[in-house]
Amino acid sequence: MSCPICKRHTKQDYRPFCSKRCADIDLAKWFSGSYAIPSAEPVEPDADRDESDPPIH
């Protein structure tokens, strides 16, 4: 199996990655929103938010 980030062989301690560095890169992509599942549904405003709240970016 190869690392999904750099394509090197994986190490048992970091599977499915080859190192902690590649695991951290993947985690950062999740946190930044780089990984997303596309949706055909329209985006609805949050019912919990007050209209006077500043927009979330």
* Binding-site annotation, residues for Zn(2+): 3, 6, 18, 22
CB 10 within 8 A of CB 18: yes
Known binding-site residue numbers: 3, 6, 18, 22
CB 15 within 8 A of CB 9: no
